[in-house]
């Protein structure tokens, strides 16, 4: 028994030596480039005067102090009409929110669909918070029950009810009376 206590005492004294191990430090890591906050499965509300204007869902969110922006992965944004009902749903693979202006940028495989069946497809667009407009200078496709329009440059209300394509490259209109298509190419 005394031998066992002596062996334990030797291990204890050997473990209490003055030499301490220092953890390795990655000197290439720049703290200023790390997000100030990071989270998963998030919901962000955009409101005005107590009324919800939009709700953003993101699988991954990274907030940065400099520049003041939030980067998003796999997003969905529900836009609300004046009655408080979802009027448009926007999906994209990536996004960014300017934390100063609260403008939202949807990037990569952007698809927005409103409650009337109008579908917008593009690679990049911006939702301007100040006037609740959706804008893009990229190639866009609008598909509605009446027509398909393609072109460069786009502006619309967030409900996709009143939209303008600035440089139209293709239009297909549906002739609902005879169920045939009229094709016009610019």
Does residue 110 sit within a domain? yes
Q: Which two tokens stand for residue 48?
A: 């005005």
Q: What is the mean pLDDT of residues 122-133?
A: 93
| Residue 47: φ, ψ to 5° | -135, 160
Does residue 18 sit within a domain? no
Residues 6+ apart with CB under 8 A from 135: 125, 126, 128, 154, 155, 156
Per-residue pLDDT, 167: 96
Per-residue pLDDT, 24: 75
Per-residue pLDDT, 49: 86
Does residue 29 sit within a domain? no
Does residue 174 sit within a domain? yes
Helical (H) or strand (E) element with 9? helix 2-15
Per-residue pLDDT, 183: 42
Domain carrying residue 121: 35-184
Does residue 177 sit within a domain? yes
CATH number of the CATH domain containing 126: 2.60.450.10
Does residue 155 sit within a domain? yes
Per-residue pLDDT, 91: 97
Q: Structurally, how many domains does the chain consist of?
A: 1
pLDDT tens digits for range 153-172: 999 998 999 999 999 999 99
Does residue 103 sit within a domain? yes
Q: What is the mean pLDDT of residues 63-77?
A: 94
Question: For strand 37-48 and strand 51-64, is the pairing parallel, antiparallel, or unpaired?
Answer: antiparallel
Does residue 1 sit within a domain? no
């Amino acid at each position: 028994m005394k031998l066992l206590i002596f062996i334990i005492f030797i291990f204890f004294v050997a473990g209490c030596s003055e030499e301490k191990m220092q953890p390795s430090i990655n000197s290439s890591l720049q703290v200023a480039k790390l997000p100030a906050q990071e989270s998963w499965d998030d919901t962000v509300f955009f409101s005005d005067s107590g009324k919800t204007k939009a709700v953003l869902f993101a699988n991954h969110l990274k907030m940065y102090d400099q520049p003041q922006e939030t980067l998003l992965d796999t997003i969905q944004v529900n836009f609300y009409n004046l009655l408080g009902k979802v009027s448009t749903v926007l999906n994209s693979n990536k996004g960014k929110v300017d934390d100063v202006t609260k403008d939202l940028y949807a990037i990569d495989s952007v698809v927005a669909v409103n409650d009337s069946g109008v579908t917008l497809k593009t690679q990049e667009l911006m939702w301007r918070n100040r006037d609740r407009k959706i804008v893009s200078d990229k190639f866009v496709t609008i598909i509605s029950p009446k027509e398909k329009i393609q072109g460069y440059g786009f502006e619309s209300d967030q409900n996709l009810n009143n939209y303008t394509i600035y440089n139209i490259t293709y239009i297909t209109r549906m002739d609902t009376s005879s169920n045939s298509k009229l094709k016009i190419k610019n």
